[in-house]
Structure 1
Amino acid sequence: MKRLLLSLVLVLPLLAGCTKKDNEIAIGEYDSMTGSEATFGLSSNKGVRLAIDEINAAGGVKGKKLALTAMDDQGKNEEAAAAVTRLITQNKVVAILGGVASGRSKAAAPIAQSKGVPFLSTGSTNPDVTKIGNFVFRVCFIDPFQGFVMAKFANENLKLKKVAILRDVKNDYSVGLADAFVQEFKKRGGEIVDDLSYQSGDIDFKAQLTQIRSKNPDGIYIPGYYTEVGLIAQQARQLGIKAPLMGGDGWDSDKLSEIGKDAINGNYYSNHYTTESTDPAVTEFIKKFKAKYNETPDALAALGYDAAKILAAAIERAHDLSGNAIRDELAKTKDFAGVTGKITLNENRDAVKSAVIIQVDGKNRKYVTTISP
């Protein structure tokens, strides 16, 4: 009941006034605003709403206001599919934003594709997402690049020779990053001393970590979500494992430090942007976000913001509000100056952009370096 009430609290304010009117353009968003990875969806939604508020304050798109309907997928694939179905059939949206988790986007995007409704994912990094069809796009980089980035960093910056892998075997995102890291690290002459698995929701990782400890790796790559990574970090240090831990953008949440405490400090993950950037676009975004929400925006908030801005620009350029017209303009996105970098959507509808390496220091996220495609 509490989850249902929270979902209604989140969605109802966005639904207010969102009935399609002649002076409005209906767009949809679905995200995980409750469930185990709720910080991802909540952050993405805040970024989307901030962008839409700015766009509407500046006159809207084609002289009309953007009317956002946001739905909570509760962190479940079937709910993501149901949300997108409702957005298209009931709310009559012209395009859909959202989808931080790759598994949920893989469940939801085929519906948008079949209906000819443009689908722009904020944070789904698994390569298969955009392979669903020509109406499916994303503003984030993909897993092979993110895996490449951390393998390069491990090899060139950390000088690691032997790495163990601990992957969430039920998570498309985690498996994709792990596969890409293994391929690139081996290509660079590194050795994978062990490759073990866990499942989302697990809380005891000591068996896997004990086995990894026996292999004495120089580092451990854990491309999972903060919910399990924080626990893994604690248990690794309890077992006397001192090797650096590495991961992907699934670590990017304040909850990581709450769960991992001091054990997560000093470890590294790849991410979409850094709050330490001096780029005026980034500093202005952070300032506006803090003013609206009284918190520092994470990468998912930045991706949500960029996605909404890119979609609005495509709708503005489109000769009408049909799915085909908006789709065609999204495909033309080139060198868009986003908060998460300069974004070009390639022939596969994936974003071509740089990644940054972040080091955890309590709730601070220290920028280490940028790695380009």
Structure 2
Amino acid sequence: MKKWKKVATAALAAMVFASVLSGCGGDKKKAADAGDTIKVGASFELTGNVANYGKSILSGFKMAADEANQKGGVLGKKIAVVESDNKSEPSESGNSITKLVTQDKVVAVVGPATSGCVAAGAPITAANKIPHIAPSATAPGVTMDGGKVREFMFRACFIDPFQGQVMATFASNSLKVKNVAVLFDSSSDYSKGLAQVFQETLEGKGGKVVIKEAFLSKDMDFKSALTKIKATNPEAIYVPGYYEEVSKIIKQAREIGITCPLLGSDGWESPKLAEIAGKDALKDCYYVSAFSAQDKDPSVQKFIADYKAKYQKDPDIFALQGYNAGLVLFDAMKRANSTDGTKVAKAIAETKDLPIASGKMTFDANHNPIMPACIISLEGGVANLKEKISL
């Protein structure tokens, strides 16, 4: 998840600073795994507008670290998680990851949650040859630089084009709708990209996008755009975005009499959605996720039980992704028999059929994991598994 447009300045500054840092990291590795600990960085949105994501991912990642330590650690040493708050801002993300690299001297970085924040910190980790795993950043460019794979960057979630295709497939094959409206965030590359892929996939299946309307991040009033959409009488509305705006869109759509299904992306994932939109408004609302507590896969159910025992609450998709990211990193260190960044990155890229909380994970040539997606329904404000889709 996933905002790229706002990070150009921050990413450029990070690249310039990274070029300076890369020449002065001689003692970094020695300090990072000195003594009986191995330092790993956790840069997350612990405050700010998507703090729900960051806090949840961090809880899952720390759970994976605690479990590794309970089993004797990694390479005979304990994992020490070093936390840093990026405040849900790309510019702060660059600062956060710079601190982890230059001051805390970590051997790897996990996080941030959103693609924009990942982009701002990626030049720092790349310049210093530090493995960097993005647990929930779905923008394709996270692991790719033009047509070239970023050697040290990986993700633990499916990419945006995949989930856009999944929702269009669900709309066409399961809901049997053809005329669909799209309401997207024009300030977010995440939202714009999803809208484009959804439209292309839907139209490839014989459907049609009857109207496209835009909003901006942090908007509060969406009734003008929704009124225009209502006039086209769509069979469904696709709203790729984040829960803060989406919850208000759903609420206001129902208030003006829109009753058709509302379809969304993984950015909808949050308890806040039902709190703000209202449970009654969520009838016929669906979004894409990589996790459902109703999934009967034994690995999913074990993760849920262990997480509840540790934190006394149910996990969400972000907790699962943070946990999976930890499993990937620690497994790679063991197989590499080293904390050297180049060796660990190579081991991550070679990950195949690794048991994780959602089944097994294998990385493709572009450092993306191969996995199915869940369609989640929100009837009555309760997240239910509607179906699982593999493309």
TM-score range, shorter chain: over 0.9
The aligned counterpart of 1:85 is: 98
Alpha carbons 1:223, 1:248 under 8 Å: kept: yes
The aligned counterpart of 1:217 is: 234
- Specify the code of the residue in structure 2 equivalent to 1:50: M
The aligned counterpart of 1:310 is: 328
Alpha carbons 2:235, 2:261 under 8 Å: kept: yes
CA distance 1:308–1:169, change in 2 (3 Å): same
- Specify the code of the residue in structure 1 equivalent to 2:158: F
The aligned counterpart of 1:14 is: none
Indicate the SS of the match to 2:141.
coil
Q: Alpha-carbon deviations, 1:308-345, whole Å to 9, x = none? A: 01100001111321110101000001122222342211
The aligned counterpart of 1:106 is: 119
The aligned counterpart of 1:144 is: 161
Indicate the SS of the match to 1:123.
coil
The aligned counterpart of 1:7 is: none
Superposition TM-score, scaled by structure 2 size: 0.89
Q: Distance in 2 between matches of 1:342 and 1:221?
A: 30
CA distance 1:344–1:218, change in 2 (3 Å): same
1:219-238 maps to which residues of 2 (within 5 A)?
A: 219-238=236-255
User: Shift in Å at residue 364 of structure 1?
Assistant: 2.2
Are 2:204 and 1:191 aligned?
no
Indicate the SS of the match to 2:35.
coil
Are 2:287 and 1:269 aligned?
yes
Alpha carbons 1:273, 1:341 under 8 Å: kept: no
Picking from 184, 190, 194, the partner of 1:167 is 184
Q: Distance in 2 between matches of 1:166 and 1:342?
A: 35
Q: Distance in 1 between matches of 2:59 and 2:276?
A: 23
Q: Distance in 2 between matches of 1:54 and 1:287?
A: 14
Q: Distance in 2 between matches of 1:269 and 1:169?
A: 20
Alpha carbons 2:300, 2:359 under 8 Å: kept: no
- Specify the code of the residue in structure 2 equivalent to 1:323: G
- Specify the code of the residue in structure 1 equivalent to 2:49: S
User: Shift in Å at residue 169 of structure 1?
Assistant: 1.4
The aligned counterpart of 1:368 is: 386
Alpha carbons 1:103, 1:173 under 8 Å: kept: no
User: Shift in Å at residue 266 of structure 1?
Assistant: 3.0
Alpha carbons 1:306, 1:338 under 8 Å: kept: yes
Q: Distance in 2 between matches of 1:48 and 1:66?
A: 11
The aligned counterpart of 2:337 is: 319
Indicate the SS of the match to 1:352.
coil
- Specify the code of the residue in structure 2 equivalent to 1:85: T
- Specify the code of the residue in structure 1 equivalent to 2:35: D
How many pairs does the alignment contain? Answer: 356
User: Shift in Å at residue 19 of structure 1?
Assistant: 8.2
Alpha carbons 1:122, 1:139 under 8 Å: kept: yes
Runs of 4 or more off by more than 6 Å in structure 1?
none
The aligned counterpart of 1:345 is: 363
Q: Distance in 1 between matches of 2:32 and 2:137?
A: 28
Are 2:87 and 1:74 aligned?
yes
Indicate the SS of the match to 1:71.
strand
Q: Alpha-carbon deviations, 1:82-109, whole Å to 9, x = none? A: 1111111111111110122111111111
Q: Which moved more, 1:280-289 or 1:230-239?
A: 280-289
Alpha carbons 2:181, 2:212 under 8 Å: kept: yes
Superposition TM-score, scaled by structure 1 size: 0.93
- Specify the code of the residue in structure 2 equivalent to 1:267: C
Alpha carbons 2:373, 2:389 under 8 Å: kept: yes
Identity between Structure 1 and Structure 2 (%) = 41
Q: Alpha-carbon deviations, 1:276-310, whole Å to 9, x = none? A: 12222211111111122221100000000000011
Q: Alpha-carbon deviations, 1:102-129, whole Å to 9, x = none? A: 1111111122112111110000000011
Q: Alpha-carbon deviations, 1:188-234, whole Å to 9, x = none? A: 11100111111111110011101101111100000101111110001
Q: Distance in 2 between matches of 1:88 and 1:226?
A: 31
Q: Distance in 2 between matches of 1:111 and 1:330?
A: 19
Alpha carbons 2:297, 2:359 under 8 Å: kept: no
The aligned counterpart of 1:9 is: none
Q: Distance in 2 between matches of 1:86 and 1:193?
A: 48
Picking from 336, 360, 375, the partner of 1:357 is 375
Are 2:304 and 1:286 aligned?
yes
User: Shift in Å at residue 20 of structure 1?
Assistant: 5.8
Picking from 66, 74, 88, the partner of 1:61 is 74
Unaligned residue ranges in structure 1 (runs of 5+)? 1-17
- Specify the code of the residue in structure 2 equivalent to 1:144: P
Are 2:143 and 1:123 aligned?
no
Are 2:269 and 1:256 aligned?
no
Alpha carbons 2:299, 2:359 under 8 Å: kept: no
User: Shift in Å at residue 265 of structure 1?
Assistant: 3.4
Q: Distance in 2 between matches of 1:361 and 1:82?
A: 41
Q: Distance in 2 between matches of 1:340 and 1:127?
A: 22
Q: Which moved more, 1:317-326 or 1:252-261?
A: 317-326
Q: Distance in 1 between matches of 2:118 and 2:87?
A: 13
- Specify the code of the residue in structure 2 equivalent to 1:328: K
The aligned counterpart of 2:174 is: 157
Indicate the SS of the match to 1:39.
helix
User: Shift in Å at residue 363 of structure 1?
Assistant: 4.4
Q: Which moved more, 1:282-291 or 1:58-67?
A: 282-291
Q: Which moved more, 1:100-109 or 1:145-154?
A: 100-109
Alpha carbons 1:103, 1:172 under 8 Å: kept: no
